[in-house]
Structure 1
Amino acid sequence: MGPHLIFQRFYRWLKSRLRTVDATDTRYALAEACLIGILSAIAALILKQGVGWLGGKRVALANQFGAIWVLPLGGLILGSMAGWLIETLSPTATGGGMTQVKAALARYPVPLSLRVALVKLIGTILVLGGGLTLGRRAPTVHIGAALAAQLSSWVPTSPEHRRQMIAAGAAAGLAAGFTTPIAGVLFVIEELMRDVSGLTLETAIVASFTGAVVSQILQSSTFNFPSSLLDLPDIAFSASEIPFYLLLGILAGILGALFNRGLLLSVKIQKYLNLPLSWRIGLMGMASGLIIAILPPFFRDNTGLRIDLVQGELEWSRILLAFVAHFFLTILAYSANTPGGLFGPALVLGSALGYLVGDFEELLTGTGTETTYALAGMGAFFTAVVRVPVTAIVFVFELNTNFNIVLPLMVTCAVSYIVAESVSKGSLYEHMLKARGIYINEGATGQDFLSKLTASEVMQSQVETLSSDFTLDDVLQAMSASSHRGFPVLAEGQLVGIVTQTDLAKLKKVPGYTPLWEFMTRKPITVQAEASLSDVLYLLNRYQLSRLPVTEGHKLVGIITRTDIIRIEANQLQGDDTTINEVVPDPSYIAYQTRAPLVGVGRILLPLTNINTATSLFKISAAIAEQQNQEIECLQVIKIPKHSDPAQTTVITQQSRQLLQRAERLGRQHQISVHTQIRVAHDRAQAILDTIRERHINLIVLEWNPDKKTPGSVFGPVIDILIRRATCELVIVKLGKEKEAYPQTLDKDTTWLIPIAGGPNAKRAMELLPGLTQLYTRPRSPIIWLCQVFSPHKPTPDYQSLEAKAQQLKEQLERPVIPLPIRSQSVTDAIVHLAESESCDVVMLGVSKEGLLAQVMQGNIPKTIAQQVKSTMILVRGKLDN
């Protein structure tokens, strides 16, 4: 077993140990970030040791056999080898790597993998060991990002998680290269992403910190010179030096902008020549070696030269020569898409420029601190090249940790940035991406419509499910009667598996009584309701699925299919931004909320408006919740004027909180989980619809007060909208007028009248009876009248069917149930007369959406009954189809 396979298995084991429900669990993400930091530090160490060993061999051979032969030949051979390796194994490993990482973070399909990291590592060692004047820190950023992408691909989760890990890898790579963890994170924010709205920075911080610490332990982060080098003496700043720091900033800005223009021009020329990569890098290596061989001997050792430039060990004439030579040699090397970076050269050039300005000040005034100018020059030139002033300031400060350098850095970096943007606008990496045909809109990064939508906004909330105690015959019968090819499997309301036609096709000569749990797919791949649609699509493609159950914890709240996503994409192409759930222009705002344990298989929404009837309505909801093992979500809506912003309007919530706290106490008495929330909204109905969608409500209990009349409405504007648009079940309650509170009305020997006319809603109304009848506190059983109105013109009414339903209900409730057939031309008159003559305390109707609204022209039977009957009315409307 190879090390690659061993590490992959270890990584999967680590994730399986840390994962609980969500694949992107915070503990797992932070553990992965630590691992990324460690690997980035190890890669930085290997890169440092490899470049140092190979570069040392090159210098030794040059001293032994003559620089004029060894340096050009070495640059040609090693550069050609690096180019061939990259062309053959991983073309993405070219250049410094910043453009690839930036494009990947902008969601462009740029390959990042272990292969890219290894090829980049070897290629960088070859070209830098061959004498090309580039840095190794940008490659460590690319390598860190590639390693992070590989880790994420071994145990895939989602595109956003992968993007987050790539950002963490980039930060860790820079931190491992320089031991600057803060600058590593800032560079990711300031240059590579700029939009961090979807990024969790904790992982980038952890990866950067780990990379810096491990790198320091391994001694792999030194700047090709002793780690104490930047602890330079005599760092000071005075106001009289400001003009010279301004001069330094201006020079750095101009020269940095010209440096970038030279790079871009050289890249265009190389692209025009259209030579193979191995030839390009080899020829540039040979040219660099030839130029260095002609220059004074101290140029042959890149490491020693950089030490001398940063420490100021050279005379000003040699510093100037080194600056000019490095300036053009770096452009020459980088233009061939050589695997090397600009961070090191930019810092060295900035240091040299700073010493020159410091020498100039000393020449004019006889005073000055050259070391301060050198450090300030580092930040200024780095800013002009990369256009990240904040990162540059923090970066150089972290290298030196002397507060005296902060003010000079701020002055020079700010001026350098302004001047550089005036001379040549835009980041070097942005221009190089555009040259490759990649245009990144910083303001729109990550804002595609698939990322804006969540699974709960697109899913089908009405799901056909199977019970885990089904047999194969039951499953075959369910599938033959349905158009769906797969069904979630529930056990006690919890998702335990999924069964598809593919599962059935695998069965051979299996008896029909085989339990479902033996052939279903257990622990299916699911997606959380708040997951973005891009994550859903990724999981569908990654695991070759056609549907994904949508869950909240272990509770199934919907299902999403490829067809749903295709429909959304088609709407987007047609300019229609709506989803299957209606999107509201003025969303409500949650001003207060409490959460109880998620222990129920469903959720009942109880909007509370009247403090006098709140307890009665809660007990009705609690009766249903106890019967069906559901939770209760209590809602208070505070209306505000249309011109006010719900999220910015100050409201008084004290009274609402007291009412919700009373509901929580009642929940504890009934041992029911009670969630509460206060919403601020322009429209009460819309706030309720928002809650239904966001909290995955199964049933809503609404109070109807017929005394509050609104012209043009049936039950009132709020209830009418909910009847029309709420997809969950509705239970509309009109409390009786005899008593102020519903429980007192039922706290006596009562009579219930249940008119039925067939259909699913009447059936659903009777299913709620077992729970509602538990509201009785007297030992004597209530009387239930099961009534059906027949037309007097019908010759043979089906009385037997009514009697059978009454007998079935009697056995279920263990209470007296009396069948009562009535012949009447008017259903309304018959029910109202019976309710009054028998002094019925509760009348319960099962009605459809059409029965509640579309019949208004015919007098609206349910509304008429509810208005004329003085007792308590309960109207039940089942779920609507999506």
Structure 2
Amino acid sequence: MADAPPADNEPGLGRAARVLVVLGGLAIISGVLIGFIGGAFRWLLLHAAAFREQLSTWAHTVPFGWVAVIGFCAAGAIVAILLVRLSPESAGSGIQDVEAVYRQQLPSPPLSVVPVRFAGGLAAIGSGMVLGREGPTVHMGAALGAGVGKAAGLDADDHRLLQTAMSGAGLAVAFNAPVGGALFVIEEVTKSASYRLIVPTVLGVGAAIACARLVIGDHPDFLVHHVPNPPMYTLPMFLVFGVLLGLLGAAYNALVVGLVNLDAALSRVPAVVRAGVVGALIGLALFVDPLTVGGGDALTQLLLTGQAFAPPLLLMYLLIRFVAGPLSYAAGTPGGLFAPLLAVGALLGTIFGQIVLVMAPSLGADFLIAMAIVGMSTMFGATVRAPLTGIVLIVEMTAVTTVTVPMLLAAGAAVVTAMLVKSAPVYDSLREITLRARS
């Protein structure tokens, strides 16, 4: 009996392969674009953060220097909200928009999103608002993918697929985490997987990261020395930690949604006034301590290098950032939730670790670093409800793999706890708010 022909020669698979070639090629083009644009965005934000710290230091050396700091932050928020008027789709994170487009609840983002997200995000995040860089880069990547797909004459389904795939490239660029960016598309945006989605996603992410690294360098976002595996007897403790963060993640989500709804209820007050007031409050915090504002990378890096902080100071950072993140987001300027969440998680992990060390000092200072890493991924899982994406992102951002088992245990406990208290994933709630507002 003659052998059956190879499966790859079947006509249906041949057509599918040709479609993947087209989608993959367009994804690479889109990835190159978001790689350079997102890389430039991150580079400028780094310089803005350095200027912000210098401004705060200078303000303490002159009379009424606090006025200049508050004015700077308020002006940044006002400029950002004025830019949003040019492209209303550019408000907030953009991740919920990407998800709504994938579900055919909203049209694909226009290319006007790219310059407004870039400039508005730079004004808002650069001035110190507690927002994440990933929101703008995700939405810029999605808009570029949709634009390239339309220019190539793809039908509605395929250019929508391309915008979805390129949202992952945007996230990858934001955190220099290619696998995490690709997994984000599957676990969070689409909650499904197929070759038609996976192939353009991995090609687009690969091209984006290669180009972004030409701008921002090829190194993990956080420099962390070797962290030893926590002892086996500590593993149950990570389940307890996960339960606690599940509850705190639910509270964080409720605060985000509540403040967004409150901002909408205050619509009689001009948006520039609302944003300016939030910016002024952020400016006051910046004057007091630069580590209380911005995306939180500087504070997270200090925690991950074992910098010792007194417990009252850690609690101050936690309380301010726990409120300032949702408050900044509610102002409606371009910016995301991910990066500030990671700083909150690192703070919670460090505080929990300090409590454990009182009872078991033999665990040593490295245990605090392990707890900070676990806190980052667990808080992400509790609020976004994408635990694998959170774990992979943090592994890539820290290049630490020795605490993956505690990360899995804590993330699983956090997700279950958040579900038990009936807390919706934050982007599901924000998507519903966005759809109501635009209807």
What band does the TM-score fall into relative to the shorter chain?
0.7 to 0.9
Equivalent position SS for 1:172: helix
Q: Where does residue 358 of structure 1 map in the other structure?
A: 353
Q: Where does residue 769 of structure 1 map in the other structure?
A: none
Give the CA deviation at 1:297.
5.8
Contact persistence 1:48–1:220 (CA under 8 A): no
- Give the letter for the 1:33 counterpart: A
Q: Where does residue 277 of structure 1 map in the other structure?
A: 271
Q: 2:101 is matched with which residue: 80, 104, 115?
A: 104
- Whole-Å separation in 2 of the counterparts to 1:266 and 1:181: 32
Q: Where does residue 3 of structure 2 map in the other structure?
A: none
Higher RCO, 1 or 2 (CA under 8 Å, sep at least 6)? 2
Task: For residues 426-460 of structure 1, give each alpha carbon's deviation from its aligned partner in whole angstroms, at most 9, with x where no partner exists.
Answer: 21111112223469xxxxxxxxxxxxxxxxxxxxx
Give the CA deviation at 1:241.
0.5
Q: 1:140 is matched with which residue: 134, 137, 140?
A: 137
Contact persistence 2:121–2:335 (CA under 8 A): yes
- How many residues end up aligned between the 2 structures? 414
Residue 96 to residue 436, structure 1, CA distance change in 2 (3 Å): closer
- Give the letter for the 1:146 counterpart: A
Residue 303 to residue 396, structure 1, CA distance change in 2 (3 Å): closer
Task: For residues 547-566 of structure 1, give each alpha carbon's deviation from its aligned partner in whole angstroms, at most 9, with x where no partner exists.
Answer: xxxxxxxxxxxxxxxxxxxx
Contact persistence 2:297–2:343 (CA under 8 A): no
Equivalent position SS for 1:403: coil
Q: 1:331 is matched with which residue: 309, 326, 334?
A: 326
Q: Where does residue 728 of structure 1 map in the other structure?
A: none
Counterpart mapping for 1:492-641 below 5 A: none
1:34 and 2:23 aligned: no
Q: Where does residue 16 of structure 1 map in the other structure?
A: none
- Give the letter for the 1:311 counterpart: T
Contact persistence 2:173–2:209 (CA under 8 A): yes
- Whole-Å separation in 2 of the counterparts to 1:54 and 1:167: 30
- Whole-Å separation in 2 of the counterparts to 1:103 and 1:218: 31
- Whole-Å separation in 2 of the counterparts to 1:172 and 1:127: 22
Q: Where does residue 91 of structure 1 map in the other structure?
A: 88
Q: 2:410 is matched with which residue: 409, 412, 417?
A: 412
Q: Where does residue 725 of structure 1 map in the other structure?
A: none
Counterpart mapping for 1:359-378 below 5 A: 359-368=354-363, 369-378=367-376
Give the CA deviation at 1:22.
10
Counterpart mapping for 1:118-157 below 5 A: 118-157=115-154
Contact persistence 1:83–1:279 (CA under 8 A): no
Give the CA deviation at 1:375.
0.9
- Whole-Å separation in 2 of the counterparts to 1:219 and 1:291: 28
1:48 and 2:45 aligned: no
RMSD: 2.5
Give the CA deviation at 1:243.
2.9
Contact persistence 1:76–1:283 (CA under 8 A): yes
Residue 221 to residue 116, structure 1, CA distance change in 2 (3 Å): farther
Contact persistence 2:90–2:116 (CA under 8 A): yes
Structure 1 unaligned segments of length 5 or more: list them: 1-20, 440-882
Q: Where does residue 171 of structure 1 map in the other structure?
A: 168
Give the CA deviation at 1:155.
2.3
Q: Where does residue 343 of structure 1 map in the other structure?
A: 338
- Give the letter for the 2:245 counterpart: A
Counterpart mapping for 1:265-344 below 5 A: 265-274=258-267, 275-293=269-287, 295-296=288-289, 298-299=291-292, 303-315=297-309, 316-344=311-339
Counterpart mapping for 1:615-764 below 5 A: none
Give the CA deviation at 1:292.
3.4
Q: Where does residue 68 of structure 1 map in the other structure?
A: 66
Q: Which has the larger radius of gyration?
A: 1
Residue 321 to residue 312, structure 1, CA distance change in 2 (3 Å): farther
Give the CA deviation at 1:198.
8.8
Q: Where does residue 202 of structure 2 map in the other structure?
A: 205
Of Structure 1 and Structure 2, the greater strand share is in 1
Segment of structure 1 superposing worse, 344-353 or 188-197: 188-197
- Give the letter for the 2:414 counterpart: S
TM-score normalised according to structure 2 size: 0.88
Equivalent position SS for 1:108: coil
Q: Where does residue 81 of structure 1 map in the other structure?
A: 79
Equivalent position SS for 2:258: helix
Contact persistence 2:292–2:320 (CA under 8 A): no
- Give the letter for the 1:376 counterpart: V
Task: For residues 458-508 of structure 1, give each alpha carbon's deviation from its aligned partner in whole angstroms, at most 9, with x where no partner exists.
Answer: xxxxxxxxxxxxxxxxxxxxxxxxxxxxxxxxxxxxxxxxxxxxxxxxxxx
Task: For residues 156-198 of structure 1, give each alpha carbon's deviation from its aligned partner in whole angstroms, at most 9, with x where no partner exists.
Answer: 2211210221122111111112222221121111111124469
1:397 and 2:390 aligned: no
Q: Where does residue 6 of structure 2 map in the other structure?
A: none
Give the CA deviation at 1:51.
1.9
Equivalent position SS for 1:404: coil
Q: Percent identity?
A: 25
Q: 1:57 is matched with which residue: 51, 55, 60?
A: 51
Equivalent position SS for 2:208: helix
- Give the letter for the 1:202 counterpart: V
Q: Where does residue 741 of structure 1 map in the other structure?
A: none
- Whole-Å separation in 1 of the counterparts to 2:185 and 2:50: 33
Equivalent position SS for 1:200: helix
1:257 and 2:250 aligned: yes
Structure 2 unaligned segments of length 5 or more: list them: 1-14
